[in-house]
Amino acid sequence: MTTEGRAEPATVAVAVRPTGPVDWSEGVALAVIEAHSTGRGPLLPVLHALQETFGYLPAPVVQLVAKALNLSRADVHGVITFYSDFRSTPPGRTHVQVCRAEACQSMGGYALADHARERFGIGFGETTAAGDVSLDQVYCLGNCALAPAVTVGGQLAGRVTPERFDQLLDARGTADQRSGA
């Protein structure tokens, strides 16, 4: 008998979303809003849950959330646009984040950022025309002793040289083809 772990490791489950985002549906959105409207100050949890569901926050979200939480549309729009996590356009199939903060800068982060932009032919905050990759910059992934750091599809990677970055992306591409994506 081989037993792996006394308790399920908490850190494994979060990395990969088992199913992709679903298409926009007002009914689904209302159910999500309802499920997350409990508790004090629920706007951020509601928006996170909606983005988790649809992959982004389509325009009708503003009106629906405002009505459900008794807020003005300006309040909801203001919050969505303040926080860099919330996006109003569909994301690429693979989300790539490159850390641009000081610890990563000290270990070749500037060159890695250039390499990432070059590889995809887009800037930070953009999605490739084919919709396969969204590239974002991030200020600190908390992996500062193993800099430079990136995430690919939600998986954190440390000590990422441009070569290792390409390997991570290539491995991902193979996996995507296997699953028929």
Partner 1 sequence: MTSVVRVYLPGDSAARSVGADDVTAAVVEGARLRGRDVEVVRNGSRGMFWLEPLVEVVTAQGRVAYGPVQVSDVESLLDAGLLEGGQHPLALGPTEEIDWLARQNRLTFARVGVTDPLSTEDFEQHGGLVGLRRALTMTPAEVVEEVVESGLRGRGGAGFPTGIKWRTVLAAPAVPKFICCNADEGDSGTFADRMLMEGDPYTLIEGMLIAAVAVGATEGFVYIRSEYPAAVASMRRAIEIAYEQGWLGQRVLGSSYAFDLEVRVGAGAYICGEETAMLESLEGKRGMVRPKPPIPALEGLFGLPTVVNNPLSLASVPTVLAHGAAFYRDFGLGRSRGTQVFQLAGNVARGGIVETAFGVTLGELLDDFGGGTSTGRPIRAVQVGGPLGAYVPPDRFGLPMDYEEFAAAGAMVGHGGIVVFDDTADMAQQARFAMEFCAEESCGKCTPCRVGAVRGVEVIDKILVGQDVAANVVLLNDLCDLMVDGSLCAMGGLTPMPVRSVLQHFPEDFDRTSAGRRP
Burial annotation 61-81 (CB, 10 A radius, 16+ → b, else e): bbebbbebeebeeeebbebbe
43 scored as a contact of partner 1 (CB under 8 A): yes
- Which residue among 53, 140, 166, 176 contacts partner 1 (CB under 8 A)? 140
Q: Does 20 bind partner 1 (CB under 8 A)?
A: no
Binding residues among 88-127 for partner 1 as defined by CB under 8 A:
101-107
Rounded CA-CA distance 108/119 in Å is 17
Phi, psi of 85 (to 5 degrees): -70, -30
Q: How far apart are the first and last CA of the chain?
A: 36
Cα separation, 113 vs 101, in Å, equals 11
Candidate list 29, 32, 62, 147; residue touching partner 1; CB under 8 A: 147
28 is an interface residue for partner 1 by CB under 8 A? no
Task: Report in angstroms how near the CB of residue 131 gets to partner 1 at its nearest.
Answer: 22
| 131 touches 93 (CB < 8 A) | yes
Does 48 bind partner 1 (CB under 8 A)? Our answer is yes
- Cα torsion 58, 178, 11, 159: sign: negative
Among 29, 47, 116, 135, binds partner 1 (CB under 8 A): 47
How near is the Cβ of 43 to partner 1 at its closest, in Å?
Answer: 3
- Count of alpha carbons within 13 angstroms of residue 49, beta-carbon side: 17
Residue choice 4, 23, 27, 174 for contact with partner 1 (CB under 8 A): 4
Applying CB under 8 A, the residues found at the interface with partner 1 are 1-7, 9-15, 39-45, 47-48, 69, 75, 78-79, 82-86, 101-107, 138-147, 149, 154, 156-159
